[in-house]
Amino acid sequence: MSLDFFFNPKSIAVIGASNNKLKLGYEVFKNLKTYEGRVYPVNIRESVVQGVKAYRSVLDVPDEIDLAVIVIPRGYVKQAIIDCCKAGVKGAIVITGGFSETGAEGKRLEEEIVGIAREHGLRIIGPNCVGVMNTSVNLNATFIMSARKGYVAFISQSGALGAGIIYKTVREGIGFSKFVSVGNMADVSIDELIDYLADDEETKAIAVYLEGLRSGRRFIEACRRVYSKKPVIVLKGGVGVYGSRATQSHTGSLAGSPEIYNAAFKQARVIVSRNVTELLSMSRAFTQPRPRGSRVAVITNAGGVGVLVTDELERRGLVLARFSSETINALRRILPPIAAVNNPVDMIASARGREYYLVTKTILRDNSVDAVIVACVVPTFAGMTPTEHAEGVLKAIREARVKKPVIGLFMAGEVSLEARKLLENNGIPVYETPEEAASAIEALCKHSLYREV
């Protein structure tokens, strides 16, 4: 069954939409006012919410409702779900907390609500969640800031961590296609979301923050099923002794050690990231084609950056491509004598758009190269910005006509924002540290390697 009504609802009722700025229902309705579909506030007391006519119940709304967002005190949630079922609502996002995460009584109530919903074919995301976003249609069914548009769908088992990552990435200029805070996963599970997102055109990769699963089997099967369509990149919380204790309040974890989890992830053909930074840098790589092997070329205008990228690639089990003699001769003709023409190629600080273009094109065409990292540290010529360098790279990719991943590493803060935007608008992911760029290539190679398993 498709979960599309959660992401592209024709109409939404916000049950608990509020005029009170201290309530989450205020933020949720405010965020949804810019949505392209129809949005109705439901409030038991107010007749107008944020300037829009409000209804006492979802049953009073004179429209068919695809999606209800429920953000009312716990004691009223059951009735709201009953109303949604009567009104023929397809999906409900229950933001309200106080259910299975609080103990036996909350668990009982949660099960009762899910039972009612299942009887009537109503699907539920949550409860105890932050909500759902679909940036491609400006849907922000949460109480937090909207994510930027991007190619990564992000499923988070921790709502607050998900929120923190969105606030962080908005500032950094990193975007998402979808965001789902799954909360207690009383009904809709991560495996179902993975199946749905695998067919989503705006999504190139699925990033998951995971603490525990009710059914590891279903998760593994879903990941295997979608493998050829979309990579799944996982950050597992609670891998250590203390960390796993810290997740104890969460229900129904896959029992077992990090070894068991890692074996399961391998079986699932999932790419494992070690931290938040890697989760993001790895997921963002998948706008690029998959490499045929692990032989990486590094092009830089700064020796130190080339050295650090090389160290990071090696640490991650990748190899530096060994260029053909034709490539080396061509690079010698392009570059000044003191440039380094072996991999990593140090074009030195004098390199401009022309060198970035010619060198990148030459290297992309070398059959011994599977993937390319193009690094650019702030150019040292007065007034120059790295935009021409980025243009050179794009021209090289267009003309080389090969299907190989190219990753940008632009270490220049504000000065490189335009260059970065230019590359990313053309689908080239850009990073700011050697370790992030190397992890991006690692993720692409790992995904390819699973093909052979």
d(CA 178, CA 162): 12
Closest approach, Cβ 373 to its own copies, in A, equals 13
Buried/exposed code over 81-103 (b: 16+ C-beta within 10 A; e: otherwise)? bbbbbebebbbbbbbbbbbbbee
Sign of CA dihedral 143, 148, 154, 158: negative
Q: Which of residues 123-152 bind its own copies (CB under 8 A)?
A: 130, 143-145
Place of tokens 């209804």: 55
Which span sits near its own copies by CB under 8 A: 247-255, 282-290, 418-426, 444-452? 247-255
Tokens linked to 4: 């599309």
Half-sphere exposure in the Cβ direction for 166 (13 Å, CA): 31
Q: Note the residue count of the chain.
A: 453
Answer for which of 71, 129, 132, 165 binds its own copies (CB under 8 A) is: 165
Among 158, 184, 288, 360, binds its own copies (CB under 8 A): 158
Exposure string over 213-231, b if 16+ CB within 10 A, otherwise e: bbebebbbbbbeebbeebb
Least distance (Å) between residue 375 CB and its own copies: 9
CB of 415 to its own copies, least distance (A): 6
The interface with its own copies within residues 211-230 (CB under 8 A) comprises 211
Name which of 239 and 328 has its Cβ closer to its own copies.
Answer: 239
Alpha-carbon distance of 114 to 106, in angstroms, equals 12
Residues 6+ apart with CB under 8 A from 325: none
Nearer of residues 62 and 337 to its own copies, judged by Cβ: 337
Q: Which of 342, 307, 349 minimizes the C-alpha distance to 327?
A: 342
Least distance from C-beta 335 to its own copies, angstroms?
14
276 binds its own copies, rule: CB under 8 A: yes
Please, which residue, 258 or 289, has the CB nearer to its own copies? 258
User: Residue 317 to residues 281, 306, 439, 442, 444: CA-CA distances in angstroms?
Assistant: 17, 17, 11, 8, 13
Reading the block at residue 451, the tokens are: 């093909």
Instruction: Please list every residue from 328 through 387 that binds its own copies, using CB under 8 A.
Output: 338, 340, 342-344, 346, 349, 377-378, 380-383
The residue assigned the tokens 């699963």 is 213
* Positions in 281-310 near its own copies (CB under 8 A): 301-308, 310
Tell whether residue 311 is a contact of its own copies (CB under 8 A): yes
Of 101, 221, 388, 391, the one binding its own copies (CB under 8 A) is 101
Q: Is 314 in the site for its own copies (CB under 8 A)?
A: yes
**For its own copies, which residue of 37, 175, 237, 293 counts as binding (CB under 8 A)?**
237
Binding range to its own copies, per CB under 8 A, among 45-53, 100-108, 194-202, 354-362: 100-108
Least distance in angstroms from the C-beta of 184 to its own copies: 12
